Amino acid sequence: MPDHDRTMPPSLISGHEWLLEGAPDNQIPAHGVEPLVAMRVIDEEIVLDGIPERNLATFVTTWMEPEAQQVIAANLHRNFIDHAEYPRTAEIEQRCIRMLASLFNAPGETTGARTQGSSEAIMLGALSLKWKWRQRREAAGKPTDKPNMVFGGDVHVVWDKFCRYFDVEPRIVPLQPDKFTIGPEDVEPHVDENTIGVAAVLGTTFTGHSDDIGAINDLLVTIKNDRGLDVPLHIDAASGGFVWPFLYPDSEWDFRLEQVRSINVSGHKFGGVYPGIGWLVFREQADLAEDLVFYENYLGKRDATFTLNFSTGSAMVLAQYYNLIRLGRDGYTLVMEVMKKNSEFLAGRLESIGPFEVVGDDAEQLPLVAFHLAADADVPYDEFDIAWQVSAERGWMLPAYTMPPKAESVKMLRALVKINLNRALVSTLADDIAQACETLEKKGGASKHERQRVKTGVGY
In the complex, which residues of this chain contact ligand PLP (CB under 6 A)?
59, 117-119, 156, 158, 201, 205, 236, 238-239, 266, 278, 459-460
Tell the smallest beta-carbon distance from residue 158 to ligand PLP (Å): 5
Residue 278 or 445: which CB sits closer to ligand PLP?
278
Tell the smallest beta-carbon distance from residue 417 to ligand PLP (Å): 15
Q: Exposed (0-12), middle (13-18) or buried (19+): which is 261, by Cβ within 10 Å?
A: buried
Q: Are 232 and 262 in contact (CB under 8 A)?
A: yes
Tell the smallest beta-carbon distance from residue 422 to ligand PLP (Å): 23
How many Cα neighbours within 13 Å face the side chain of 247?
Answer: 21
Tell the smallest beta-carbon distance from residue 332 to ligand PLP (Å): 18
Residue 194 or 210: which CB sits closer to ligand PLP?
210
Residue 147 or 152: which CB sits closer to ligand PLP?
152
How does strand 278-282 pair with strand 260-266?
antiparallel
Question: What is the distance between the alpha carbons of residues 265 and 103, in angstroms, rounded to a whole number?
Answer: 12
Residue 56 or 437: which CB sits closer to ligand PLP?
56
Helix axes of 118-139 and 158-165: crossing angle, nearest 10 degrees: 40
Tell the smallest beta-carbon distance from residue 287 to ligand PLP (Å): 19
Tell the smallest beta-carbon distance from residue 269 to ligand PLP (Å): 6
Residue 278 or 399: which CB sits closer to ligand PLP?
278
Tell the smallest beta-carbon distance from residue 229 to ligand PLP (Å): 26
Q: Name which of 366, 146, 64 is nearest 241 in CA terms.
A: 366
Residue 240 or 445: which CB sits closer to ligand PLP?
240
Q: Are 221 and 231 in contact (CB under 8 A)?
A: no
Q: Exposed (0-12), middle (13-18) or buried (19+): which is 5, by Cβ within 10 Å?
A: exposed
Q: Exposed (0-12), middle (13-18) or buried (19+): which is 451, by Cβ within 10 Å?
A: middle
Number of residue whose CB is nearest ligand PLP: 117
Residue 271 or 445: which CB sits closer to ligand PLP?
271
Tell the smallest beta-carbon distance from residue 174 to ligand PLP (Å): 17
How many Cα neighbours within 13 Å face the side chain of 274?
Answer: 19
Residue 313 or 445: which CB sits closer to ligand PLP?
313
Tell the smallest beta-carbon distance from residue 274 to ligand PLP (Å): 12
Residue 118 or 391: which CB sits closer to ligand PLP?
118
Tell the smallest beta-carbon distance from residue 460 to ligand PLP (Å): 5
Residue 336 or 373: which CB sits closer to ligand PLP?
336
Residue 184 or 459: which CB sits closer to ligand PLP?
459
Tell the smallest beta-carbon distance from residue 243 to ligand PLP (Å): 12
